A and B are shown apart, each in its own frame.
Chain A
Amino acid sequence: MYQKLKILYLHHFKLVFVLNFALSLFWLNLFYLKGFDKVNLYNLAFAFKLLGYITTVAIEKLFFSYRIFYYYNLGLSYRRILGTFFSIEFGLFALSLTLCWLWMNFL
């Protein structure tokens, strides 16, 4: 299952991943400049990440009729494919945010 997801992400989600991760880096930079104690900054960052994911779903919907049987024949639903993708991407964002906070506070 994870091998299939890995192949799918490598072939179809590279650009979308780069765009979402670039958004993460942009917000990471803002946190670095403004500090990690601004609650509104967190709200704004999460709102923009959500917007990024909604855009990703909208883009994927454009290819829905072309790819439906391609994905479904793998036994994978859109929820599984995009859910795992967003979890990984958001996990990376949270991890980079935590590492940046640790680096600024303890190093």
Chain B
Amino acid sequence: MDEFFVDSVQHSFDGRPVLNNVYLKCGVGEVVGVLGRNGCGKSTLLKIIFGTISPHYKHLRIDDKIVSKGFLTGEFAYLSQSFFIPHYLKLGVVVKLYTNKYQNLLLKLPVFRDNLNEKIGSLSGGYRRLAETLLMIYSDAKYVLLDEPFSQLSPFLIEEIKTNINLMLSYKGFVITDHYYQHVLNYASRTILLHNGCNYNINNLDDLRLHGYLPSMLH
């Protein structure tokens, strides 16, 4: 079974509960959207799955195997909110580091094809973010966790990311969090909302209004 699920996630910061019995499942071929207000625990949930935050309790299962830290399996890639690849590395080097199976596909993309000998720090902020996102999408990991991949990107680059996710969708599962809720709602196969530490299934904008994510007068 090509899917992972995390269950009974409980975590708190300084005694304040952030996640309480949260459940998330994602299979290959799926894009799961995670929405929520600032500070509701979206990034925390992704980091718990990835393994960089140790929660009070969680049950993580990948392809029917129980694991403690996602990154140690090599099956997870996580795009953090800030740049994470050192600025002095050339794109050619990071392509070798992060990709193997899908390297040829990645090298056909203009941002890599035209800048292989450039340092990643010499790209503009948007293109650097795009490059890091594409590296995660084309990495060998089966499940890709994207933490606010659309933030501060132009609509053209957002579409580029969506196109590339679509290309890899038959090989991978994606979990996306973002505040651009319309992009997430329209694009994801399933969407959940984190609110008051719990998760709710979301099907349309009315559900978001119902749980207080959107003000009721907004259309």
Contacts and interface: CB of A to CB of B under 8 A. Distances in A.
Interface of A: 3-4, 7-8, 11-12, 66-70, 72-75, 77
A75 B73 contact: yes
B51 A70 contact: no
Given A7-B93, A7-B97, A74-B98, A69 B73 contact: no
Contact of B72 (A3, A66, A77): A77
B171 interface: no
A69 B69 CA distance: 13
Nearest to A75: B74
Interface in B116-167: 136, 139, 141
Main secondary structure of the interface of A (DSSP, over half): helix
A50 B136 CA distance: 37
Contact of A73 (B69, B93, B96, B136): B136
A72 B79 CA distance: 11
Tell which of A11, A69, A74 has the most Cβ of chain B within 10 Å. Answer: A69
Given A75-B72, A75-B73, A75-B74, A69 B93 contact: no
Tell which of A72, A73, A75, A77 has the most Cβ of chain B within 10 Å. Answer: A73
